[in-house]
Amino acid sequence: MTTETERPEIERILPRIHARYTPLRDGQLADYIPELARMEPDSFGIAIATAEGHQFSVGDAERPFTIQSISKALTFCMALELAGAAAVRARVGVEPSGDAFNAIEFDPVTRRPYNPMVNAGAIAISGLLHEVLGDAAFETVLDRFSQAAGRRLAMDEAVYRSEAETGHRNRAIAHLLLSAGALTGPVEPALDLYFRQCSILVTATDLARIGATMGHLGEQPWSGRQVFEVSAVRDTLSVMFSCGVYDYSGNWAHDVGVPAKSGVGGGILGVVSRQLGLATFSPRLDARGNSVRGLAVFKSLAAELGLHVFDATNRGSALIPTYFKPPG
């Protein structure tokens, strides 16, 4: 049971961190997607949701933005469940690539994308989902994302059209996937699903609730519904930890130590297993495609709340409400 003396502590942490990084205006919008270049650049929200169904937020945590590459983690999780781990591993690996998210590079040994968190791997996963689900693929993806968020989500039609009209590099990747056997073709249905899933609208609060669902072993804390299979969540969090923030993933694992996935819409989703989901939204990106403010916020939250998976000092324990329970 949460007491009133516990609640204000975490509620004071978030506004303090939000105020600390509000003046930070480094980075640029993702202008290679025309619709994303129209975003309000100084939007900034932070949200936390716990595995026991508590929520905290500050700033623009309810402002909608497109999920973009954060969708890759969720479709990977779905593919593991719907197609099976063997079928997924036949299409995509789990190794960090060290390359940019849109690199046209495959593993030279397997001739498959390095991992599902870069564009090549995510398009391969979208193709696999379309093979399994057919024309119902996008509605199934949207429904599963909505279940995890705890509310009905929608797609931004303008962003979808913008991505479909300008996604020539992703089309090149798809054709290389087809030639390598990581797609069975045709490429357009896989690409269409990929563009659509990236265009789903979410808020920081939605992402935090999705993170709490994953942290709660796939069970949505508010509805009690099992949204993702436990084994699929485990494998997804593993790849998020090692590959989730593009070619910054090694630094992230060292500095933050939380499974996470970023997106060029300005969001970052983090998951602390069996405890909570964290999310930030700020659309100014660094050169790697990660939210500048988001990276800074996650570093501060990890330090102040003791969230790093290998943090044995418990420095943040006095600040964590009792319902943030460690595993075991």
Binding residues for substrate: 69, 119, 163, 170, 194, 246, 264
Q: What whole-number distance in Å separates Cα of residue 43 and Cα of residue 59?
A: 8
Which one is catalytic: 126, 246, 271, 291? 246
Which one is catalytic: 72, 88, 146, 297? 72
Which one is catalytic: 57, 69, 126, 162? 69
Segment holding 121, helix H or strand E: helix 119-133
CA distances in angstroms from 161 to 66, 95, 104, 157, 199, listed in the order given:
13, 32, 23, 6, 9
Give the Cβ contact number of residue 161 at 10 Å.
14
Q: What whole-number distance in Å separates Cα of residue 300 and Cα of residue 256?
A: 9
> Is 159 considered catalytic here?
no
> Is 246 considered catalytic here?
yes
Q: What whole-number distance in Å separates Cα of residue 207 and Cα of residue 57?
A: 12
Rounding to the nearest 10 degrees, give the CA dihedral for residues 184, 188, 192, 194: 40
**Do residues 294 and 312 make contact, with C-beta atoms less than 8 angstroms apart?**
no
> Is 187 considered catalytic here?
no
**Do residues 121 and 113 make contact, with C-beta atoms less than 8 angstroms apart?**
yes
Which one is catalytic: 58, 159, 264, 297? 264
Phi, psi of 276 (to 5 degrees): -165, 165
Rg for the chain (alpha carbons), in Å? Answer: 18
> Is 264 considered catalytic here?
yes
Q: Which amino acids are annotated as binding site, given as ranges?
A: 69, 119, 163, 170, 194, 246, 264
> Is 299 considered catalytic here?
no
| Active site (catalytic) residues | 69, 72, 194, 246, 264
